[in-house]
Amino acid sequence: MMNLDLACAHFRSLLEEQLHRVEAMSAEKVDFSKKQTVTVGIVPGDGIGPIIMAQAVRVLETLLRDEISGGTVALKSVEGLTIENRMAQGKAVPEDVLAQIKACDVLLKGPTTTPMGGTMESANVTLRRELDLYANVRPVTIPEEGIDWVFYRENTEGEYVLGSKGLELPGMAVDFKVTTDPGTRRIAQAAFDYARNNGKTRVSIVTKANIMKKTDGKFTAICHDVALDYPEITADDWYIDIMTANLVNPAIRNQFQVFVLPNLYGDIITDEAAQIQGGVGTAGSANLGDRYAMFEAIHGSAPRMMEEGLGDYANPQSILKAAAMLLRHICRTRAAEKLEKALAECPCGVTGTADGETCAEYVSNLLTFL
């Protein structure tokens, strides 16, 4: 009985924490078109992160040369977000590192390793919560198949917000899932705003509301309520299991446009979508909030590649596509278009093995297309 009493007290404290989080969900949006100096934090990360990030910095320094020299854009190195430092301090994001990050406007971040087991949550989950980066945006395009997908994954709730705060009782373990009204409403509005602003006519709401009736049921209901403000856009419902099948069905997959979905499902299905595009190394990702934004590769730190001495052969396309998204976010549209065009035109011989191009060789070739 004592174990049950402790579990109930633990659950109560989690609920109180989440209610306080809901009350704090408000921030004024930054208008980067009016900002005199934009500070871009460069966060190398772990494993292959520093390797691919060094090449991304080469590209940004080329595209933004005049703005960097003129002081309207600053690239700031953020030190300390490494697995070694995080393990030594016992924190997913040490306080001094978080202070460096909050001094920036946007981040370009390499992959960070999350320890298996224990209680340390991922650095990404911590940063999304601390910076309130509620929208994870992942585009996937395959022009020859007519595929142009954009996924809006809720980024601060679901299983992830309390994923390291579950509890164990004799013979069982319990984790928690959270869906809030304001958290769902703002991700739905972000998805429908994108659809409206980009001429899209369909937003697909993806849940498992037939099973997770309270959390996913709330997510679906709020998305449809938001959809009423966008009468020109069709909102349709899908369960996550059939949607994973739809994405590999050539007969229908090019009919989808914009997706909005809770955190866990979005994490899984966007990796599937990236693999369809050509692999997780080919997809970029944006984490957007009203005040801060973080752009990153969607793949991990590739420890096997590092162990095999193949880190220099990592594909930098994912972090470069994230850099293009960053440039658009800070209203450097022409620079973003130049990078996107170069990525489309420059042949990529990076295979992840010693038989292919190195990361640096590919970027040296890419720079000739800018």
Bridging pattern class, strands 293-297 and 284-288: antiparallel
pLDDT at 106: 98
Domains of the chain: 29-133+289-370 (3.40.718.10), 137-152+177-277 (3.40.50)
pTM: 0.86
CB 17 within 8 A of CB 83: no
Q: Give CA–CA dist 261/269, Å, rounded.
A: 10
Question: Is a pLDDT exceeding 90 seen at residue 282?
Answer: no
pLDDT at 284: 84
Contacts (Cβ under 8 Å, ≥6 apart) of 20: none
Residue 24's pLDDT band, with cuts at 50, 70 and 90, is confident
pLDDT tens by residue, 83-121? 999 999 999 999 999 999 999 999 999 999 988 877 788
pLDDT at 280: 79
3-state secondary structure of 346: coil
Selected residue with higher pLDDT from 61 and 124: 61
What whole-number percentage of the chain has pLDDT above 90?
82
Range from 5-9, 27-31, 173-177 carrying the lowest mean pLDDT: 27-31
Q: Give CA–CA dist 297/267, Å, rounded.
A: 13
Give me the mean pLDDT over the 3-11 stretch.
88
CB 83 within 8 A of CB 115: yes
pLDDT tens by residue, 294-341? 999 888 899 999 999 999 999 999 999 999 999 999 999 999 999 999
Bridging pattern class, strands 135-142 and 284-288: antiparallel
**CA-based end-to-end distance of the chain:** 67
CB 230 within 8 A of CB 196: yes
Q: Given strand 293-297, what is the order of strands in its sheet? A: 73-77, 38-43, 106-109, 293-297, 284-288, 135-142, 147-154, 258-261, 202-207, 234-239
pLDDT at 253: 97
Give me the mean pLDDT over the 184-199 stretch.
95
pLDDT at 283: 80
CB 170 within 8 A of CB 200: no
- From 303, 309, 319, select the one nearest 353 (Cα to Cα): 309
